[in-house]
């Protein structure tokens, strides 16, 4: 799995592009590094481009684990928007599970099939 990160400070969002097979361990390692980095701003909105990610090995239990890790690491974040951009029904199903698990949190999550729509929603 490879993840590239791009910051857009002017529009207040960071974009993560994921390519390859996504594992819970790989994703958690990336998030640990991200949260510890000097340029991490917990007040930025988030765009995850998962169109080239292979999520086929991710289970509901792993989705819950990632949600728990993010919740604990961010210590009740400010109201944020997070957009997930996917290219398959499987990825849409996993994203929908994650969206349901985030209900009631400070993060508002929405899933898209189109990058331009996701960017538009993130910056509105």
What is the residue-wise DSSP string for 55-115? -TT--HHHHHHHHHHHHHHHTSPPSEEEEEE-SSHHHHHHHHHHHHHTTTSSEEEEEES-H
From CA 11, how far away is CA 20, in angstroms rounded? 28
> What pLDDT is recorded for position 24?
93
Q: Can you give the CATH number for the domain in which 15 is found?
A: 3.30.750.24
Task: Kindly report the number of other CB atoms within 10 A of residue 69's CB atom.
Answer: 16
Question: Sign of torsion, CA 96 47 66 73?
Answer: negative
Instruction: Please count the structural domains in the chain.
Output: 1
pTM: 0.89
- Give 10-residue mean pLDDT values along the chain (124 residues): 95 96 95 92 92 88 86 72 90 78 76 95 92
Range of the domain at 99: 2-123
> What pLDDT is recorded for position 22?
93
Strand segments, DSSP code E, in the chain are 2-8, 13-21, 45-54, 80-85, 107-112
């Amino acid at each position: 799995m490879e993840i590239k990160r791009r910051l857009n400070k002017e529009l207040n969002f960071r974009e993560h592009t994921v390519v390859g097979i996504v594992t819970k361990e790989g994703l958690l390692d990336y998030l640990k590094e991200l949260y510890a980095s000097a340029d991490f701003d917990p007040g930025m909105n988030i765009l995850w481009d998962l169109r080239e990610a292979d999520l086929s090995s991710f289970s509901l239990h792993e989705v819950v684990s990632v949600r728990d890790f993010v919740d604990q690491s961010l210590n009740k974040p400010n109201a944020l928007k997070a957009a997930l951009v996917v290219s398959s029904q499987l990825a849409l199903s996993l994203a929908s599970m994650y969206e349901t698990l985030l209900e009631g949190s400070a993060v508002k999550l929405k899933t898209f099939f189109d990058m331009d729509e996701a960017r538009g929603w993130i910056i509105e």
